[in-house]
Amino acid sequence: MSGEGTERRADGFELRDMHEDEHEQWVALGRRGFLEARRATPAAVESRRRAMAGHRRRVAVDAGRVVATFRSYGVDLPVPGGSALAQAVSSVVVAATHRRRGLLSCLMATDLQEARERGDALAVLIAAEAPIYGRFGFGAATEACRWTLDARGARFRGDPVREGRVSLELAEDADLVDLAVPLHDRLAARSPGATPRDPRWWRLALGLEDDGSGTDPHLQRPAVVARDDVGRVVGVLRYRAVEREEARRPATTAEVLDLLADGPDATTALWRHLADLDLVVGASAPFRSPLEPLPHLLVDERAARQHERSDFHWVRVLDVPAALTARRYATAGACVLEVRDDAGLAGGRWRLEVGADGTADVEATAAEPDVVLPVAVLGSVVLGQVPLVGHVAAGDVDERTPGAARRLGALLHDPSAAVLGRTWF
């Protein structure tokens, strides 16, 4: 270290907090790093500055130029039945001229160490590519997929709209910020891994504020709000038409931008609304949970299809007792688990004891372990969405007591459908 918070590497690169006058370089590097075609407008540069205020922003600097960026900030990450203090990691970019020289590795090591020292239980991110983060102890903890609905073939089993339990109304973009924020927060609180969306998130998504991501405020994006019989907002749907015509017949698809639904009536009403649109042959909804109930709403379940299923949130455990006691469990049980962590942050041997009320006690122990697993596997299963059984079958889990991995898997599993959606940390 040379100076507070500054590290000068043998190759001369300086790793340190970003100076405020380097913000424009930060934004430019980010846009180049993600191969975006458009330069950031001055409004977008300012918007990014506001968005990142209060976040930890680290850079690598080579001869006065910012060549790498790394941002992190604290979130209350929803976990089954509660939430855990977590470090959200974002804006990870190394200039194309400076890659594979260990810059990300240095920035990540410092950030995870600081998060651990601050007392964060977890770190979380959304990976640009799957091979990047496993080496840092992250495991894929939620999955997302694209659901398509063949509107012409879709017949729904019930009709909650006609029964009057949910009513739909058109909404203007400007009104949606106030309507959607409380609904999303309510749903996210019970959705492991859900990413926070503050009013600014919505203003950007709605094109009411420019962050340079190219959201065009002139595009038509119809929006519908669902209310229950006492007028409470229980659903928000936004979509855009992807127009096509084949042989003088419409082949347009409704691409879902947001579909937030609290309960089966709202879920059915919003999917039915998409299926009933005129001039549209189908709906396509990216970044949804694979547990979306859509097929179960239909007479012909095959009118709904899952595509592009893939990892979404990646989680790294920083503090095993804090991570395991933050969540609730569906069944009682006990297990001694040994966590292996090459980075020396979270390794150890712990006795997990879950009581009948679903809360856990976790204590360090010298007892022989029932199960030995790498920290990345624990990160993958700690939100309850990814089953342990797949990791066992892959040989990543060392089961020392017969049947213990299956019992631990049953303790950790929480099959609640995550609220995902287009999102960013």
101 part of the interface to ligand ACO, by CB under 6 A: yes
Rounded least distance, CB 75 to ligand ACO, Å: 13
Out of 15, 67, 93, 386, the residue judged to bind ligand ACO by CB under 6 A: 93
Residue that has been written with the tokens 């934004």 in this structure: 27
Rounded least distance, CB 48 to ligand ACO, Å: 14
- Say what angle helices 23-33 and 42-52 make with each other, to 10 degrees: 100
Binding segment for ligand ACO among 9-17, 101-109, 155-163, 381-389 (CB under 6 A)? 101-109
Query: Quick check: is 425 catalytic?
Result: yes
- Alpha carbon of 174 to those of 124, 179, 422: distances in Å? 31, 10, 19
Which burial class, exposed, middle or buried, applies to 325 when counting CB atoms under 10 A from its CB (0-12, 13-18, 19+)?
Answer: middle
Asked if 14 contacts 61 with a C-beta cutoff of 8 angstroms, the reply is yes
Out of 103, 145, 257, 386, the residue judged to bind ligand ACO by CB under 6 A: 103
Residue that has been written with the tokens 């995902």 in this structure: 420
Query: Quick check: is 312 catalytic?
Result: no
Q: What is the Cα–Cα distance from 354 to 348, expressed in whole angstroms?
A: 19
100 part of the interface to ligand ACO, by CB under 6 A: yes
Rounded least distance, CB 89 to ligand ACO, Å: 5
Comparing CB distances to ligand ACO, the nearer of 68 and 237 is 68
Considering only CA atoms, which of 358, 401, 379, 404 is closest in space to residue 139?
379
**Exactly one of 133, 138, 239, 312 is catalytic; which is it?**
133
Count of beta carbons in the 10 Å neighbourhood of residue 320: 24
Contact pattern for ligand ACO over residues 126 through 165, marking x by CB under 6 A: xxxx-xx--x------------------------------
Classify 36 as helix, strand or coil. Answer: coil
99 part of the interface to ligand ACO, by CB under 6 A: yes
**Exactly one of 13, 287, 329, 425 is catalytic; which is it?**
425
Comparing CB distances to ligand ACO, the nearer of 25 and 267 is 25
Check the CA dihedral 75-331-266-259 and report its sign: positive
Rounded least distance, CB 132 to ligand ACO, Å: 5
Comparing CB distances to ligand ACO, the nearer of 35 and 219 is 35
Pairing assessment for the beta strands 333-340 and 371-374 based on DSSP bridges? parallel
Tell me the catalytic residues. 133, 425
Return residues touching ligand ACO (CB under 6 A).
Answer: 33-34, 89-94, 99-105, 125-129, 131-132, 135
